């Protein structure tokens, strides 16, 4: 195939735009924040499960405290009744029995109040754990919201870059002869479509060409369309190619 050096050099502009398009397409479909956002979603789910467990444990303690308080009320009522009976009785035997029961009730109330204090301390500790867990969830939500916003902005930016590069590529492609563009597009579909030959190195694959290949390229006419023997892309030759 033949093509003017000017037309061949335009392929470098196409290649650069294609690199931009590929990068922008990847960025708009796979924002850098996406993986971390997914990790945070899983983290928040686990944190929510733990919060539910802590809330359940706190509620169980509250129910236990309510039961103890109810038992204390029963003991107080019974002790008050026994005190009234003791004050009214004239029987020494009855008075002795009531005295033993009042003492027993006092010990029972003391035991209940100690248990009540212990449960209240456990409830206070449970409330602290709940507050700490809620703070963790809030921090996870804040980071997730921030990264989601950043990801959305990154996708919008990448989409704008993609659209701009697409318009630029269409403009450049319109100036390239149809047969040369077809060859370039076919090669670009499977890799690099064109690369500059600079100082005996193909910039498409970064390989230094062998002497025999360089000799062949040096013998080719200026308007011959040549390809890299290593990667197959169209080699664009300039005064920087090192063929002279």
Nearest-5° Cα angle at 229, 226 to 234: 35
Closest CA to 7 of 198, 189, 172, 231: 172
Burial of 31 (0-12, 13-18, 19+ CB in 10 A): buried
Which range of residues forms the domain containing residue 192?
Answer: 5-26+174-237
Cβ atoms of 20 and 190 closer than 8 Å: no
Q: Indicate whether 37 and 155 sit together in one domain.
A: yes
* CATH number of the domain to which 147 belongs: 1.10.287.1490
Q: Indicate whether 154 and 213 sit together in one domain.
A: no
Q: Indicate whether 34 and 21 sit together in one domain.
A: no
Please say which residue of 114, 131, 159 terminates a domain.
Answer: 159
Element (H, E) at 227: strand 226-227
pTM, to two decimals:
0.71
CB atoms closer than 10 angstroms to residue 65: 17
Element (H, E) at 235: strand 234-237
Q: Cα separations (Å) of 137 from 123, 127, 141, 199?
A: 21, 15, 6, 58
Say how many domains are in the chain: 2
Give the pLDDT of the chain (244 residues) as one tens digit per residue.
999 999 999 999 999 999 999 999 999 999 999 999 999 999 999 999 999 999 999 999 999 999 999 999 999 999 999 899 888 888 888 889 888 999 999 999 999 999 999 999 999 999 999 999 999 999 999 999 999 999 999 999 999 999 999 999 999 999 999 999 999 999 999 989 999 999 999 999 999 999 999 999 999 999 999 999 999 999 999 988 888 7
């Amino acid at each position: 195939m033949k093509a003017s050096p000017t037309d061949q050099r335009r392929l470098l502009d196409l290649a650069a735009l294609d690199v931009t398009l590929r990068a922008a397409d990847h960025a708009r479909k796979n924002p850098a924040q996406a993986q971390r956002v997914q990790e945070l979603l899983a983290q928040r789910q686990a944190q929510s499960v733990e919060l539910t467990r802590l809330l359940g444990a706190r509620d169980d303690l509250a129910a236990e405290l309510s039961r103890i308080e109810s038992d204390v009320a029963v003991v107080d009522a019974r002790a008050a009744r026994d005190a009234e009976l003791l004050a009214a009785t004239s029987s020494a035997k009855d008075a002795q029995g009531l005295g033993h029961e009042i003492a027993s009730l006092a010990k029972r109330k003391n035991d209940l109040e100690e248990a009540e204090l212990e449960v209240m301390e456990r409830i206070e500790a449970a409330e602290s754990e709940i507050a700490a867990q809620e703070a963790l969830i809030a921090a996870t939500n804040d980071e997730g919201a921030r990264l989601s916003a950043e990801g959305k902005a990154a996708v919008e930016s990448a989409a704008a870059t993609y659209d701009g590069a697409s318009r630029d590529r269409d403009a450049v492609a319109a100036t390239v002869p149809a047969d040369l563009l077809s060859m370039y597009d076919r090669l670009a579909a499977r890799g690099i479509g064109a690369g500059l030959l600079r100082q005996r190195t193909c910039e498409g694959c970064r390989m230094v060409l062998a002497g025999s290949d360089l000799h062949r390229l040096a013998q080719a006419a200026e308007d011959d369309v040549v390809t890299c023997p290593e990667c197959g892309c169209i080699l664009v030759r300039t005064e920087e190619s090192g063929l002279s």
